[in-house]
Amino acid sequence: GAVVSQHPSWVICKSGTSVKIECRSLDFQATTMFWYRQFPKQSLMLMATSNEGSKATYEQGVEKDKFLINHASLTLSTLTVTSAHPEDSSFYICSARGGRAEAFFGQGTRLTVV
Amino acid sequence: AQSVAQPEDQVNVAEGNPLTVKCTYSVSGNPYLFWYVQYPNRGLQFLLKYITGDNLVKGSYGFEAEFNKSQTSFHLKKPSALVSDSALYFCAVRGYVTGNTPLVFGKGTRLSVIA
């Protein structure tokens, strides 16, 4: 299957700082990328959908000024958590889709805000 | 609206026995159905999909799933479970195919295969 690389795998940051998470499709062009958040023992919650070169579409209840998403190329999308707080601590997962029906997922990023 | 139900939070099965993880869906139009597996602190791995054609779909690691339109189900199955199959399994659906349409996931079913 297609490969999606997400970096970093885990990050610890201080409250009030910003953290950037990268999602790359390594062997296909991702016309659409999705960002999810997963709480312990729960399913994936869709945060936003982004298309290359366009502004991301955020789900209801997700603060677009706090979770900045950029999809500047067909192989790279980034999620920046701005002014992070402990309640932002979570597991963030990106997903990318190109010409196939299925989406492929990154390895996830464990964010801990202290 | 699209939705997916995985009625079991946990499924326990002995190694070597057949396993079934249940999934039912609700969608307008023809469904695109998927199964993914997640290991601890990892992203999701694609197992298989149903788009059209044969109702029995074969996927990775010996898994298969049967699409049943009348029962709106897409249960995941494997004839002989392995301890290494222990993980969290997600069923997902898309109601129509456009690039922007995200997957809708079930809540997940934790599979535990006991040696």
Give residue-wise pLDDT tens across range B41-97. 888 999 999 998 899 999 999 999 999 999 999 999 999 999 999 999 999 998 765
pLDDT classification of A89: cutoffs 50, 70, 90: very high
- For residue B30, the model assigns a pLDDT of 85
Taking CA atoms, B51 is separated from A106, B31, B34, B75, in Å, by: 23, 7, 9, 15
**Phi-psi label, residue B29: left if phi above 0, alpha if psi -120 to 50, beta otherwise:** left
- For residue A114, the model assigns a pLDDT of 97
Query: Among residues A39, A109, A46, which one has the least CA distance to residue A78?
Result: A109
Flag whether residue B41 sits within 8 Å of chain A, measured between CB atoms. Answer: yes
Flag whether residue B89 sits within 8 Å of chain A, measured between CB atoms. Answer: no
At residue A87, does pLDDT exceed 90? yes
- For B52, the closest chain A residue by CA position comes to A101
Instruction: Measure the CA–CA gap between A97 and A29, rounded to whole angstroms.
Output: 8
In which residue are the tokens 């958040």 written?
A37
The shortest C-alpha distance from B35 to chain A (Å) reads: 10
Query: How confident is the model over A5-26, as pLDDT tens digits?
Result: 999 999 999 999 999 999 999 9
At residue B37, does pLDDT exceed 60? yes
Average pLDDT over residues A57-67: 94
Contact A110 B41 (CB under 8 A): yes
Q: What are phi and psi of B79, to 5 degrees?
A: -65, -35
Instruction: Measure the CA–CA gap between A20 and B114, rounded to whole angstroms.
Output: 40
Query: Among residues B69, B55, B54, B56, which one has the least CA distance to residue B24?
Result: B69
The shortest C-alpha distance from A69 to chain B (Å) reads: 15
